[in-house]
Amino acid sequence: MSIADTPSAMSFAATLERREFLVAAVIATASALVPQIARSNDAAIGTAADWQNVLQAMFPHPMLDANFYGVPAGALIASADKDPATRELLAHGWRRLSGEAGGDWSGANAASKHAALTGIVGTPLFGLLRQTTVFTLYANPDVWKAFGYDGDAWHIGGYAGDALVTVDWLPDPPVNSGPPVKTGGTK
């Protein structure tokens, strides 16, 4: 019996498969809704294109296609259509962000957008934007590819070992970058 055949390992693998299924379902659902939602033109809560722009300012990744940000933006609008509390949160948030960015989020410069976003850190709106982005943007395997992340390594035994070190975008650490090593005997 190998470690992979133990009940706890099988339970973890089953949980991982369920998580992967749920993430894939959220991404697929949000992706299917984006074309319909992006046409929404509700100035009170902002459009999907407006929120896409906000999310790009919050989570800037120049290597990502802007369409990737459309998935979490569409999910925000879909949530607002279903839940009055989310709708009110987005409406209030959109007014605040637009106001703090000089009255026009789309036309604001990067510094104004940054200042407006800094002002919402720690608020329920910021939490909603972060949570939605984590579950729809950063859980997307296509986004992982853009970052150079190969995905989960559980099925190949993890990332330990030289054969699986694929991080080539970070510089090598200095030779003496670890904690000081004590040498010699005790006194």
Under a CB-based contact definition with an 8 Å cutoff, are residues 97 and 116 in contact? yes
- State the pLDDT confidence band at 106, using cuts at 50, 70 and 90: confident
pLDDT digits (tens, 9 = 90+) for 107-144: 899 999 999 999 999 999 999 999 999 999 998 999 98
Residues 6+ positions from 151 with CB-CB distance below 8 Å:
141, 144
pLDDT digits (tens, 9 = 90+) for 149-168: 877 777 776 666 545 556 67
Q: What are phi and psi of 61, to 5 degrees?
A: -140, 95
pLDDT digits (tens, 9 = 90+) for 44-99: 788 999 999 999 999 999 999 999 999 999 999 999 999 999 999 999 999 999 99
